[in-house]
Amino acid sequence: MLAFYNKEHVGDTLMLTFDQVGEHGVDVESRGQVTVIKDKTSHKIIGINLFNVSQLFEVNGTGAVTLTDSQIDKINDLLKENKLSSLPDTDQSSKLVVGYVESCIPHEDSDHLSVTQTRVSKDEIYQIVCGAKNIKAGLTVIVAKPGAVMPNGEIIWSGDLRGVKSSGMICSTRELNVTDIEDLPGIWEIDASFEVGTPLEDVIQKYRTA
């Protein structure tokens, strides 16, 4: 679940995002101060907008924000009051994490893309298509998992690149806005001592305090 709030430019509206909009568009249902956005084909909830959210609780921060368990409970209570389904996903764990490139092969339909199998946790390996020249097996990298919010506000989703499924993105320091640590072309090759799944903020802190 991604939560966004910008009172100055959007108003007192908390926007929750769960997935990207499909090719056939969306259906919208509004009840009270809640609007639910569903994929037109699968009917899966992909977004919820909560208007006048300050009537429920105070939101701390602007842009991408993290909700407390108490705030999530209040949202679910409001949804229940309006006879709507509870939140489909409340996972707010970091989506920018350390990954390890276990394999890397050339894309069959490209002269510059590579198809990697990249481990992002003990139990998760993502297939990620990468266009960086320095990508290769054996690297420790930063991965933007599906649902990650980049510093420029872009949300990373799964998709296809030249007919090959790609889940997430392997990142450069420029994409992560950490060029003060390193400013080289291609993906950021981080120290191999970092454990897979370590959040990006922990990596940045270690580099900046080294």
- CA 140 from chain centre, in angstroms, equals 19
Residue with tokens 């030249």: 162
Cα dist from 188 to 9, 36, 53, 118, 191, whole Å: 34, 38, 39, 14, 10
Give, in order, the Cα–Cα distances in Å from 154 to each of 2, 28, 114: 12, 23, 22
- Cα separation, 210 vs 197, in Å, equals 20
The count of other CB atoms within 10 Å of the CB of residue 71 is 19
In CATH, what number does 96-209 get? 2.40.50.140
Q: Give the separation between CA 115 and CA 154, rounded to whole angstroms.
A: 22
**Which part of the chain is CATH 3.30.1940?**
2-81
The 10s digit of each residue's pLDDT in 92-104 is 999 999 999 999 9
pLDDT tens string for the chain (210 positions)?
A: 999 999 999 999 999 999 988 888 999 999 999 999 999 999 999 999 999 999 999 999 999 999 999 999 999 999 999 999 999 999 999 999 999 999 999 998 888 899 999 999 999 999 999 999 999 999 999 999 999 999 999 999 999 988 899 999 999 999 999 999 999 999 999 999 999 999 999 999 999 997
Name the fold adopted by 2-81.
Nucleic acid-binding protein fold (3.30.1940)
